[in-house]
């Protein structure tokens, strides 16, 4: 008997308090295996069946008269649908085909909308208000801190944070959302059972609990260079806007921006240093008309989100990497936290109270921000978070 936990589940799109229950007992719906077969055959040419999906044609019908496929097309390995079903059962994942109630409307509007999404987590999260945060994999420490700060603040205000689960800015964005007790979605450029990079498996597990991890490509698909640009259109497609944090001149983040502009999404950019190559691409976006932002409130204002849309942050999550919590900071970091425990301070005030050099203080504050222990508000004052 084919397991049924992964079946297509009806959902109440207005209720996110509890995830939809997995299917229990019996066989999956008759059409579900057909959607898995369609994904294996046509996932890499979604634009060729978009019109047929739009009019409600089902997977069985499309497979009976499939479109002609171009030579040299990237193809998925042939696997029996029931084998995919068993893998999805193990992953506790769901099949969400185009036209289903859980398929996000923003994504359905794309000319190359994925015919099938495989989802770990709550598929209804894909239809919530969302912003993407993208940027360099080899990001500077300052950019990592900013990405986490923006994600934490925006998630605390109820926005879902979407990114690509990559190293650098992507990971910081996911971590920041989790720290705020918010939702985050990781979009893969490989099969749902092939987390890449592998060191982000624990992060993916955390996202599946507090949001979702999704893929449009068949199970078992390895990460390939040509799949990342395709993945990026989904990142922007799920969102109301895209925030770029530090991108080089040839950064893959700029591909996400091109998709966002084609899709009519807002593009926000954090200005970066003009010296060196680190922010050359993102600064060029500003020259070309992207919206400059220096604080999460700037994004909220442009998106028209006020304080009435605020959600209360929950208790901070444990480190999604599964590592034990670090000991309380000592040395200068401990002294900074002790002073901030009595109230917010400016950097200038800290320099005087602690009798330290500006360089040492700046490095310590950055480490504390990355650890989620200190936050700098837009008025320049520093606040201790927690304890």
DSSP structure string for 138-203: S--HHHHHHHHHHHHHHHHTTPEEEE---TTHHHHHHHHHHHTT--EEEE-SS-TTS-SSGGGHHH
Report how far apart the first and last C-alpha atoms of the chain are (Å, whole number).
Answer: 52
pLDDT tens sequence for the chain (387 residues): 333 333 333 333 333 544 443 332 223 455 688 899 999 999 988 999 999 999 999 999 999 999 988 776 777 777 778 888 889 989 999 999 998 989 999 999 998 999 999 999 999 999 999 999 999 888 889 889 999 999 999 999 999 999 999 999 999 999 999 999 999 999 999 999 999 999 999 999 999 999 999 999 999 999 888 888 889 999 999 999 999 998 877 777 888 888 888 899 999 998 876 766 778 788 888 888 889 999 999 999 998 886 544 443 332 333 333 333 344 677 888 898 888 888 888 888 888 889 888 777 877 876 676 556 777 654 567 778 765
Q: What is the Cα–Cα distance from 242 to 347, expressed in whole angstroms?
A: 30
pLDDT value at residue 154: 95
Cα–Cα separations (whole angstroms), residue 310 to 132, 153, 159, 177, 296 = 18, 10, 9, 14, 13
pLDDT value at residue 97: 93
pLDDT value at residue 132: 96
**Count H helices, E strands: the chain?**
15, 11
Instruction: Judge contact between 293 and 315, C-beta under 8 A.
Output: no
Fold category of 127-209+235-309 in CATH: Rossmann fold (3.40.50)
**What's the maximum distance between 2 C-alpha atoms anywhere in the chain?**
76
pLDDT value at residue 24: 21
Look-up of token digits 């060729």: 48
pLDDT value at residue 18: 42
Burial (CB count within 10 angstroms: exposed 0-12, middle 13-18, buried 19+), residue 14:
exposed
* Token duo for residue 193: 């059972």
CATH 1.10.10.10 fits 331-384, yes or no: yes
Give the H/E segment covering residue 268. Answer: strand 266-270
**Hey, where are the domains in the chain?**
127-209+235-309, 331-384
Q: What is the Cα–Cα distance from 290 to 287, expressed in whole angstroms?
A: 7
Q: What is the Cα–Cα distance from 50 to 296, expressed in whole angstroms?
A: 36
**Which DSSP category does 345 fall into?**
B
pLDDT value at residue 17: 43
Look-up of token digits 């900013």: 146
pLDDT value at residue 287: 84
Strand partners, 269: 244, 292
């Amino acid at each position: 008997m084919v397991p049924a936990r992964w079946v297509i589940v009806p959902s109440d799109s207005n209720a996110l308090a509890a995830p939809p229950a997995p299917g229990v007992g019996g066989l999956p719906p008759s059409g579900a295996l057909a959607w898995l077969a369609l994904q294996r055959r046509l996932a890499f040419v979604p634009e060729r069946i978009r019109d047929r999906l739009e009019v409600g044609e089902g997977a069985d019908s499309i497979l009976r008269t499939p479109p002609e496929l171009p030579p040299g097309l990237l193809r998925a390995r042939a696997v029996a649908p029931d084998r995919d079903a068993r893998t999805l059962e193990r992953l506790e994942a769901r099949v969400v085909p185009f036209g289903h109630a859980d398929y996000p409307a923003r994504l359905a509007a794309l000319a190359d909308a994925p015919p099938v999404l495989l989802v770990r987590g709550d598929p209804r999260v894909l239809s919530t208000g969302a912003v993407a945060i993208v940027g360099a994999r080899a990001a500077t420490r300052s950019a990592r801190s900013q990405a986490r700060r923006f994600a934490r603040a925006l998630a605390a205000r109820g926005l879902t944070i979407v990114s690509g689960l990559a190293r650098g800015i992507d990971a910081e964005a996911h971590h920041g959302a989790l720290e705020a007790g918010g939702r985050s979605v990781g979009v893969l450029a490989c099969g749902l059972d092939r987390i890449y990079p592998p060191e982000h498996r624990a992060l993916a597990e955390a996202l599946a609990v507090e949001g979702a991890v999704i893929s449009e490509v068949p199970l078992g698909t390895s990460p390939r260079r040509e799949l990342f640009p395709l993945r990026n259109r989904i990142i922007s497609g799920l969102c109301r806007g895209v925030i770029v944090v530090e991108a080089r001149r040839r950064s893959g983040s700029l591909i996400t921006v091109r998709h966002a502009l084609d899709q009519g999404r807002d593009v926000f950019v954090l200005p970066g240093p003009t010296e060196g190559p680190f922010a050359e691409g993102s600064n060029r976006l500003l020259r070309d008309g992207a919206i400059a932002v220096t604080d999460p409130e700037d994004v909220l204002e442009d998106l028209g989100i006020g304080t009435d849309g605020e959600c209360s942050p929950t208790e901070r999550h444990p480190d999604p990497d599964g590592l034990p919590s670090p000991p309380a900071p000592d040395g200068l970091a401990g002294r900074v936290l002790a002073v901030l425990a009595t109230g917010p301070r400016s950097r200038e005030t800290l320099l005087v109270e602690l009798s330290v050099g500006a360089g040492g203080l700046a490095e310590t504050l950055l480490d504390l921000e990355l650890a989620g222990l200190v936050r700098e508000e837009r008025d320049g004052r520093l606040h201790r978070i927690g304890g």
